[in-house]
Amino acid sequence: QLQLQESGPGLVKPSETLSLTCTVSGGSISSSSYYWGWIRQPPGKGLEWIGSIYYSGSTYYNPSLKSRVTISVDTSKNQFSLKLSSVTAADTAVYYCARHDVLVGVSPDYWGQGTLVTVSS
């Protein structure tokens, strides 16, 4: 059974860089059938796609966040990571990692449980 688990600091200071890692178990990240993505959800609000990466390293970012986002993949560790720079309180959210399966319309079919990141001094 595929599992995804987010990890990283739960508290980040304003203007610093948020860094999260998603560890994939029960399956390989190096498959041509999947993209791997980050999605966030501010408290009490809706979902916002941050970006996705293919195992080859090709990346796709939300235009509204593109200047601050970097997503990378480490196939040797079966992990992919998110870096969001110059954070403000507006970046406080639950951050989810997810698998996007090409065979189901590039839809996110497996999700991590999410990790709350608070931006505060």
Partner 1 sequence: DIVMTQTPLSSPVTLGQPASISCRSSQSLVHSDGNTYLSWLQQRPGQPPRLLIYKISNRFSGVPDRFSGSGAGTDFTLKISRVEAEDVGVYYCMQATQLTTFGQGTKVEIK
In angstroms, give the least distance from the CB of 6 to partner 1.
Answer: 10
Q: Name the residue nearer to partner 1 (CB basis): 76 or 105.
A: 105
Q: How far is CA 33 from CA 13, 22, 103, in A?
A: 37, 18, 7
23 sits near partner 1 (criterion: CB under 8 A): no
- The CA distance from 8 to 3, in Å, is 17
Q: Which two tokens stand for residue 32?
A: 């041509």
Nearest approach, Cβ of residue 119 and partner 1 (Å)? 21
Residue 105 makes contact with partner 1 by CB under 8 A: yes
Binding site for partner 1 (CB under 8 A): 37, 46-49, 52, 60-64, 96, 100, 104-109, 111-114
